[in-house]
Chains A and B, each alone.
Chain A
Amino acid sequence: MGAIKTVWGILCVLFLMGPLIVVLPIAFNAGGFVSFPIQGWSLRWFAVLFGDPGWRLSIWNSLIVGLASSALATMLGTLAALGLRGRVGVPVVLARMVFLLPMATPAVVLGVGMQLIYARLGLGSTYAGLIIGHAVLSIPFTLLSVTAALASVDRGVERAAASLGAPPPTVLWLVTLPMALPGIVTGFVFAFANSLDEVVLTIFLAGPNQRTLARQMFLQLRDNLSPAIAAAAFTFIIATICIGITGLWLQHRRKRMMA
């Protein structure tokens, strides 16, 4: 019984982690991309990644679009979470459902629809258009995480602030938002990670100038398997780990503060 469990556990962990472990050393492979047994170590693919203007532009674009769309989604999500806070009733449930719907909508479908309206609004192949598109996809993440953070803010503490002379905007600014801040930042981080990884909507909405790292990787993977992909993948993993650690740290901080 115990042995079967152990073997099963190891197999599952191998299945889940194996791909990540395989992809890491490839970035430092001196040989070509597809040659798996490593032929020698080198940083040359990083040189390609950060030296090639196409890749460089795509990294910048990912940062710009990621930051701007996460900021937009966080702002809209935070406002709405504040408005919906502690409210019940059919309209509220419906609104919440619609706000979460972008999470479920297939990206291709949204891509087609957005391209249809962007043609009319003149937003096709613009940064603004791409940022808006990514923000739509990120809103469920920010809304959920800010809602959860607000739910843990004690109403009594806000009442205390009011009784001590703080008008409602001050209560919001000095008490509610600081207490919800870890949740807001978590939402932002999720949104950023989501934008970083977004390919499909970007294919529909971005012009050649708005090519993001993810889209660049997708094209390279599909069309010409440049070994710089492995370096890009490595960069991605490092970014993910940084984001993950930030997230865990925020959660930890929040728990400690509220304890």
Chain B
Amino acid sequence: MTPAPFIRCDGIAKSFGTTRVIDNLALDIFKGEFVSLLGPSGSGKTTLLTMIAGFERPTEGGIWLDGYRIDDLAPHKRNMGMVFQNYALFPHMTVAQNVGFPLRMRRMGRADAQARVARALEMVELGAMADRRPSQLSGGQQQRVALARALVFEPRVVLMDEPLGALDKRLREQMQLDIRDLHRRLGLTIVFVTHDQSEALTMSDRIAVFNKGRIEQIDTPAAVYDRPATRFVAEFVGETNMLSGRVADTGPDGTAVDLAGGLRIRVRQPLEPGRAVSVCLRPERLHLGGAGVNVMDCRVTDRVYMGDHLRVALDGAAGPIIARLPRSADTIREGEAVTASFAPEDCWVLAA
């Protein structure tokens, strides 16, 4: 038996006037889980978060927390920490007062509160800034204050709306580690909104991929990456080559698919013959050289040096495709004829 979900969104919908921003959405989040909401801009991630936090009421459906329906519970009684997309710091309070605010609301003793604030500020490397105003901080520093403020009272649930958006790469990676560490140490339940797919992949227990107010897929990072449920997910999470074709025949050792360019390839999934399908092939699954089940002859149309790998555009029987090659393939030249191959188990087939 699976445990009961800690946060449960059931059949919720949200309309602003006549526009439907969230449409019949179901999402279960378990205690101690780190769930990312990933999706393009305007797909309704913030809207879902504001409904969980209690600032907006769902137009339809309900939200449960720990078994209790919380639709009518005021935001200040939900005990959820929230990091806002635009920080939402109190401009008239110092950094320390900002971070101390939730403790003040919980009537914590002065000495205790001060110690907690100091620790929280140390965690986000802002100990020296305690007496500044938010307007005297950089964007990244403000974001860290917001983070410290949402975590300092050790809430049951932390909702984060793109909390790392304004940070530089070094700080961003540092904060990603810190948040993961906090998550594990405190057993926090975290709902983390991002539109950076690599951030979602590296940090989450599960990822919910949003598109136009619906969840297209919710699963572990590996499953979302390797076995996307829809074409949208395949193209939004990581880069992918989409090859359209038709199922030729299927048997115990795999399935044969005829691609539009005339090439026949083999994949693992059993499929009904005659169906139109799309085959997703991740660029890093392609290899140079003729050893393999699926082999095709191509011409190199472009090569870009990316530092840790080469990004190569190929044109062959399967149409234009992108390959991601190790740096050992550095000698490859534009216009060169090459043979590319890939394994049947590296192909993921979706209904077209």
Contact = CB atoms under 8 A, between A and B. Distances in A.
A161 interface: yes
Contacts of A165: 76, 79, 102, 105-106, 153
A163 B90 contact: no
Interface stretch (B81-89, B175-183, B300-308): B81-89
Contacts of A168: 74, 76
A156 B74 CA distance: 16
Interface string B82-105: 101010111110000000011001
A164 B101 contact: yes
Contacts of B76: 162-168, 170-171
B55 A157 contact: no
Given A157-B88, A163-B80, A167-B76, A259 B102 contact: no
A160 interface: yes
Interface string B119-157: 000000000000001010000000000100110010000
A257 B55 contact: no
Contacts of A164: 76, 81-82, 101-102, 105, 149-150, 153
Contact of B82 (A163, A256, A259): A163
B135 A156 contact: no
B163 to A, nearest CB: 13
Nearest to B135: A259
B92 A162 contact: no
Most B-side CB within 10 Å, residue of A154, A156, A167: A156
Contacts of B89: 157, 160
Contacts of B270: none
Interface string B264-282: 0000000000000000000
Given A162-B74, A165-B76, A257-B135, A178 B53 contact: no
Contact of B88 (A159, A166, A171, A174): A159
B79 A257 contact: no
A114 to B, nearest CB: 39
A167 B54 CA distance: 13
Interface string B61-79: 0000000000000111011
A186 B196 CA distance: 44
Contact of A163 (B75, B91, B106, B133): B75
Interface string A246-259: 00000000001111
A159 B105 CA distance: 14
A258 B86 CA distance: 14
A179 interface: yes
A175 B89 CA distance: 10
Interface string A110-141: 00000000000000000000000000000000
A179 B159 CA distance: 25
Contacts of A159: 50, 53, 55, 75, 82, 84, 88
A59 B341 CA distance: 96
Contacts of B88: 154, 156-157, 159-160
A168 B106 CA distance: 15
8 contacts: A159-B75, A160-B89, A160-B146, A160-B149, A164-B76, A179-B90, A179-B92, A257-B92
